[in-house]
Amino acid sequence: MKLADLSPRWVTKDLFVFQSPAGTGNWLAIKRAFMQPQDQVHAVFKTCPDIPIARLVTVSANAISTFSSDDFNSMTVSPSVGLWNIINGEVS
């Protein structure tokens, strides 16, 4: 499955969200800088008001990922996001 097909959106220069590949209706947050969960929620609420906050799954403040690029079509995220791997824009 392509990350680009999961409606990814940049919330800040260091945080993006995308729809869960599991089809649960949840949105997953991934960040590459220290950010408290409540700050993630606030940023999403401010930038993407159409995303239901109750459906947002944030990560702990210390869970910092590395993005290979800012292009969702070719991005690799390290480490994995929960159960999901994002490699070269593919989510598995």
Per residue in 3-25, pLDDT tens?
999 999 999 999 999 999 999 99
pLDDT at 36: 94
- Parent domain of 67: 3-91
pLDDT at 86: 95
Domains in the chain: how many in total?
1
List the structure tokens of 7: 């409606």
The sign of the CA dihedral 25, 70, 34, 84 is positive
Strands, DSSP E only, in the chain?
A: 9-12, 15-19, 27-31, 56-57, 66-67, 77-81, 84-87, 90-91
Provide the pairing of β-strand 9-12 with 90-91. unpaired
CB atoms within 10 A of CB 47: 14
pLDDT at 68: 93
pLDDT at 60: 87
pTM for this model (two decimals): 0.92
pLDDT per residue over 29-86, tens digit each?
Answer: 999 999 999 999 999 999 999 999 999 999 888 888 999 999 999 999 998 877 889 9
pLDDT at 47: 96
The C-alpha atoms of residue 31 and residue 23 are separated, in whole angstroms, by 21
pLDDT at 61: 83
pLDDT at 13: 96
User: Among 88, 35, 33, 22, which residue's Cα sits nearest to residue 65?
Assistant: 33
